[in-house]
């Protein structure tokens, strides 16, 4: 399959995280059978690297309790504080080149990743990465951009277009742009990124999060970034809307909410060509990739036309509110119980 010029074995990708920050972690994700692996993000800022020293992670159960370390479940949410890879660029390029070479032997592209700080600096880093990896992901949707001064979250059309234009001008390899989920119009941001030269669009970054612990203070002792299976419909909203607006020719990569093969399939049905998974691997290890790939392939084998026909298939029967005929009886009536009598 082809995604934004990348030939990948399957649509289950491993997203950028601490799991893809070391040679061993990158190799483990490749060897697990991922369609592609996105390395941990870097940028030009020493402050962004130092932020990793205050990283913290809390897995939150359905009743909003923090799970003890080692007891997280696939259905839990993740609230975290994080930073970027603590490595000099030259050293990181060597890691990326080795990982990309390893991935190439297994049909698994390894992408470099840049979390935006200064666009001109991102362009210089992307240019350097182009000699080591087959593609670059530019993350302009990092939720930590609302809290950390070392990274930026872009939510305005003009800012997105200009940042992508600057980075695009520095590389001749595929450029994927990852957008935030919290913006007034994510579709407009996607259109701006595409018009400025993005080969593919990632939808969407995690959301800002905050959880008081009721005993004083808050979980993590700070604001954080939030992702969970409950975010899936929110992520799919923007995937589906962007697919409708930009068309089937614009490759979309889904992220934020996929923990199971069924979740991956829902992203595909909404219009994504590939899906980045992170938290499921944190909980169950890189081996979960094989489970997801097997589940996706088994389901698609039952569908006429396979993957190509399935991508975006959920949109065919999806209508705007104004096009939905009245229901024969009020849909809300059964939910009122005795109060409706």
Long-range contacts: 311-317, Cβ < 8 Å, 24+?
311/248, 311/268, 311/269, 311/271, 311/272, 311/273, 312/243, 312/248, 312/269, 312/270, 312/271, 313/269, 314/240, 314/266, 314/269, 314/270, 314/271, 315/240, 315/243, 315/244, 315/270, 315/271
At residue 282 the predicted structure's pLDDT band, cuts being 50, 70 and 90, is very high
Q: What is the dihedral of CA 324, 328, 329, 335, to 10 degrees?
A: -50
Residues 126 and 136: beta-carbon distance below 8 Å:
yes
In angstroms, rounded to a whole number, what is the distance separating the alpha carbons of residues 261 and 259?
A: 7
Q: Could you read off the pLDDT of 128-159 as tens digits, one per residue?
A: 999 999 999 999 998 887 787 788 999 999 99
Judged on CB neighbours under 10 Å (0-12, 13-18, 19+), 40 is: buried
Mean pLDDT for 201-222 is 94
pLDDT of the residue at 305: 94
Q: For the ranges 6-15, 190-199, 320-329, which has the lowest average pLDDT?
A: 320-329
Residue 341 clears pLDDT 60, i.e. is over it: no
Give me the mean pLDDT over the 309-326 stretch. Answer: 94
pLDDT of residue 150: 82
- Residue 291: pLDDT over 90: yes
Spatial contact of 231 and 256, defined as CB atoms under 8 Å apart: yes
Span of 48-62, 163-177, 267-281 with lowest mean pLDDT: 48-62
Mean model confidence pLDDT for the chain? 95
User: For residue 311, which of 70, 21, 30, 2 has the smallest C-alpha distance?
Assistant: 2
Q: Is the pLDDT of residue 309 over 70?
A: yes
User: Tell me, what's the pLDDT at 177?
Assistant: 98
Q: Which residue has 């081996």 as its token pair?
A: 287
Question: What is the dihedral sign for C-alpha 142, 282, 175, 205?
Answer: negative
Q: Enumerate domains of the chain plus CATH numbers.
A: 2-340 (3.20.20.70)
Q: What is the pLDDT of residue 339?
A: 54
pLDDT above 90 covers a percentage of the chain that reads 86
pLDDT (0 to 100) of residue 191: 98
Q: What is the pLDDT of residues 234-275, one digit of tens each?
A: 999 999 999 999 999 999 999 999 999 999 999 999 999 999
Whole-number pLDDT of residue 338: 55
Burial code (b: 16+ CB inside 10 Å, e: under 16) for 301-323 equals eeeeeeeeebbbebbeeeeeeee
> What pTM was estimated for this model as a whole?
0.95
Q: Is the pLDDT of residue 75 over 70?
A: yes
Mean pLDDT of 52-58: 93
With 70 as the cut, is the pLDDT of residue 340 above it? no
Token look-up 């302009």 returns 140
What is the structure's pLDDT at 47? 86
Residue 317 has a pLDDT of 86
Judge contact between 133 and 41, C-beta under 8 A: no
Handedness of CA 60, 23, 127, 6 (dihedral sign): negative
The predicted structure's pLDDT at residue 51 = 87
């Amino acid at each position: 399959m082809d995604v934004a010029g990348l030939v990948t074995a399957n649509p289950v990708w491993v997203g950028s995280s601490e799991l893809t920050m070391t040679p061993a972690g990158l190799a483990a994700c490749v060897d697990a059978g991922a369609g592609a692996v996105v390395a941990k993000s870097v940028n030009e800022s020493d402050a962004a690297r130092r932020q990793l020293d205050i990283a913290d992670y809390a897995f939150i159960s359905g009743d909003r309790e923090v799970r003890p370390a080692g007891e997280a479940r696939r259905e839990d949410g993740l609230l975290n504080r994080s930073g970027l890879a603590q490595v000099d660029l030259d050293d990181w390029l060597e890691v990326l080149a080795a990982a990309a070479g390893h991935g190439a032997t297994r049909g698994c592209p390894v992408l470099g990743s840049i979390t935006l700080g200064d666009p001109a600096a991102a362009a210089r880093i992307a240019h350097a990465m182009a000699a080591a990896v087959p593609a670059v992901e530019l993350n302009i949707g990092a939720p930590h951009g609302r809290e950390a001064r070392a990274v930026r979250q872009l939510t305005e059309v003009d800012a997105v277009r200009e940042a992508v234009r600057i980075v695009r001008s520095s590389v001749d390899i595929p450029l994927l742009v990852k957008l935030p989920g919290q913006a007034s119009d994510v579709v407009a941001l996607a259109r701006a990124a595409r018009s400025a030269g993005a080969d593919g669009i990632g939808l969407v970054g995690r959301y800002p999060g905050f959880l008081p612990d009721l005993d004083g203070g808050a979980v993590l002792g700070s604001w954080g970034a939030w992702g969970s299976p409950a975010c899936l419909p929110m992520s799919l909203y923007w995937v589906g809307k962007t697919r409708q607006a930009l068309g089937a020719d614009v490759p979309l990569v889904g992220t934020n909410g996929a923990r199971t093969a069924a979740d991956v399939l829902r992203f595909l049905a909404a219009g994504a060509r590939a899906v980045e998974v992170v938290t499921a691997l944190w909980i169950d290890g890189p081996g979960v990739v094989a489970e997801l790939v097997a589940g996706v392939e088994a389901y698609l084998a039952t569908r006429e036309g396979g993957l190509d026909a399935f991508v975006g298939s959920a949109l065919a029967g999806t209508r705007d509110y104004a096009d939905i005929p009245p229901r024969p009886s009020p849909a809300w009536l059964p939910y009122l119980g005795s109060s409706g009598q």
